[in-house]
Amino acid sequence: MTGVLIVGGSVAGVRTAQRLRASGYAGGITIVDRERHLPYDRPPLSKDVLLADEPVFPSLLTAEEAKNLRLELTLGVAATGLDVTGREVALSDGSSLGYREALVVATGARARTSPWQGLPGVLDVRCWEDAMNLRTALRRARSVLVVGAGFIGAEVASAARGLGIEVHLVDIAEVPMARHFGAEIGSLFVDLHRRHGVDTHFGTTIDELAERGGRLHARLGDGSTIAADVAVTGLGTELNTEWLAGSGLAVDSGVVCDAGGRVQNATNVYAVGDAARWWHPARKLLLRSEHWTSAVEQAGVVAHNILNPESPREHLSLDYVWSNQYDWKIQIAGTPWTGSHHQLVKDGDRFAVLWARDDELCGVLTVNWPQVAVRGRRSLATGQPMSQLAAHLAGRLLPSA
C-alpha cells in the first residue's frame, strides 16, 4: 500500500511525483512502469539521440534523485487492471499494489502499429530501445524510407539527412502538416524537405513493402518504386489505456477528466499526459494533447489538486509544441487548425504564421523566431486580437522613419 500510486514513469508521471514532493507531500509515492529503464525523456529520441556520436540516455530521473525524493520505482512491471473501489492496481507479475490517497494514470501512448510490423528493417521510434535500434540501423544504411511526414517522420528524415543518408519521404497527405496548418503553410514543409535533398512522395500510398536481398522495396500508389536499406514509420499513436478496461473509468479517445485532471467518474483518480483528455473550460471542449509541455503543466495541476482537493486548480493554458527539422526551430502554440484564416509574417530567414477566427487569435507558428513564439503564447493566453499582434510584428519589421 502506498499513498499516491503513479502508473507510467515518463514525463507526466515523474513530474507529478516531483511536484508532490516539492509541495510538501510526505506520504509514500510509488511509480510503476512497464519499461525496465530509469525514466527518460522522449523528445530527444528522434533528434539528438539519433545524431550523437555515442549512445545517449536522456535521463529524466536518476536513481539517486529518486532516492532523495523517496520515490519507490517499480520498473519492468505493467499495470494490467484497476479496482477503483478496492483502490488496487493489478500488475503483470501477478502481484497488486494498493493506494490510499490517489491513483495517477500516466501511461501515455505508443507508436501506431504499421501494416509492415515485424518485417526486417522496418522500425518506429517511441522508446529508448527503438531509438537505439534506429541509430544503429541509420549508421549502417545508405538510404532510408520514412513513412509519414508528421513531427516524428520529419525529425527522423532531418536526422538522417544530417547523417548524410539518402531519404525517401512518403505520406498519404498532399502536403505534410496540412491537418495542423492547411495546404498553403504545409507546402512550406514540402519545400523544406526538398531543399535538404529529400526525395518526397506526397499524396500517395505504399501499396507494397517487401524485403528482398537484405533491402526493402516499396511500390507506391503513384506507380513509383523505392529501394531502401531501412524504413521508419511515423504513423501517429495508440493510447496505453487497455489496462483500464473493466475498471469503469471513462475512456473515450483518452481518459476523460475535468479541468483539474480528476477522472470523470471516479474518486481520487487522476490522469495526466498523452493518455489524458481534459476539459478546457474556456474552449468548452475535451482536449487531449500529445506534447511534452502539456504533460508537465498537467502534472503540476494534478499534484496541487491531490494535496488541495478543497481548492482545486484548473489547467487553462493552450497547447505548445516545438520541433527541430533541419535548420528550422519550429514552435507552435494554440490550435492553428481551428482558425478560419491566417497571416504570414516574414523577416529574412525567419517567419511567423498567425491564425484567427474573425480577429480572435487561435494559433501561432514560428520558425527560427523564439521571441515571437514567446510573444504569441502571451497573446494567446491574454486573448489579444490577431490584428494587434500582427501590428506589433509589423512595427518590428518596419520601424517608422
Residues near ligand FAD (CB under 6 A) are 7-13, 32-35, 42-43, 45-46, 78-79, 106-109, 125-126, 152, 240, 243, 273-275, 290-293, 295, 321-323
C-alpha cell at 197: 535533398
- Whichever of 163 and 390 has its CB closer to ligand FAD, that residue is 163
Minimum Å gap between C-beta 26 and ligand FAD is 24
- Whichever of 12 and 266 has its CB closer to ligand FAD, that residue is 12
Q: How many Å apart are CA 320 and CA 378, to the nearest integer?
A: 12
Asked if residue 390 lies in contact with residue 398, where contact means CB atoms within 8 angstroms, the answer is: no
Q: DSSP 3-state assignment of 273?
A: helix
Asked if residue 249 lies in contact with residue 130, where contact means CB atoms within 8 angstroms, the answer is: no
- Whichever of 302 and 354 has its CB closer to ligand FAD, that residue is 302
Minimum Å gap between C-beta 239 and ligand FAD is 9
Q: How many Å apart are CA 391 and CA 369, to the nearest integer?
A: 16
The DSSP symbol for 38 reads P
- Whichever of 9 and 334 has its CB closer to ligand FAD, that residue is 9
- Whichever of 145 and 332 has its CB closer to ligand FAD, that residue is 332
C-alpha cell at 2: 502506498
- Whichever of 41 and 211 has its CB closer to ligand FAD, that residue is 41
Minimum Å gap between C-beta 285 and ligand FAD is 19
Residue (of 344, 394, 391, 340) closest to 364 by Cα position: 344
C-alpha cell at 7: 502508473
List own/partner pairs for 157-161 with CB under 8 A and 24 or more apart: 157/193, 157/198, 157/325, 158/47, 158/196, 158/324, 158/325, 158/326, 159/46, 159/47, 159/50, 159/51, 160/50, 161/196, 161/197, 161/198, 161/326
Q: Which residue has the cell 513564439?
A: 373
Minimum Å gap between C-beta 18 and ligand FAD is 13
Minimum Å gap between C-beta 114 and ligand FAD is 15
Asked if residue 30 lies in contact with residue 14, where contact means CB atoms within 8 angstroms, the answer is: no
- Whichever of 146 and 295 has its CB closer to ligand FAD, that residue is 295
- Whichever of 18 and 386 has its CB closer to ligand FAD, that residue is 18
- Whichever of 234 and 386 has its CB closer to ligand FAD, that residue is 234
Residue length of the chain:
401
Asked if residue 349 lies in contact with residue 329, where contact means CB atoms within 8 angstroms, the answer is: no
Residue 170, judged by CB atoms within 10 A of its CB (0-12, 13-18, 19+), counts as buried
Q: DSSP 3-state assignment of 201?
A: strand
Minimum Å gap between C-beta 225 and ligand FAD is 29
Q: How many Å apart are CA 161 and CA 47, to the nearest integer?
A: 12
Minimum Å gap between C-beta 212 and ligand FAD is 29
Minimum Å gap between C-beta 296 and ligand FAD is 9
Neighbours of 140 (CB within 10 A): 8
Minimum Å gap between C-beta 287 and ligand FAD is 13
Minimum Å gap between C-beta 396 and ligand FAD is 27
C-alpha cell at 147: 513513412
- Whichever of 42 and 135 has its CB closer to ligand FAD, that residue is 42
Q: How many Å apart are CA 53 and CA 156, to the nearest integer?
A: 16
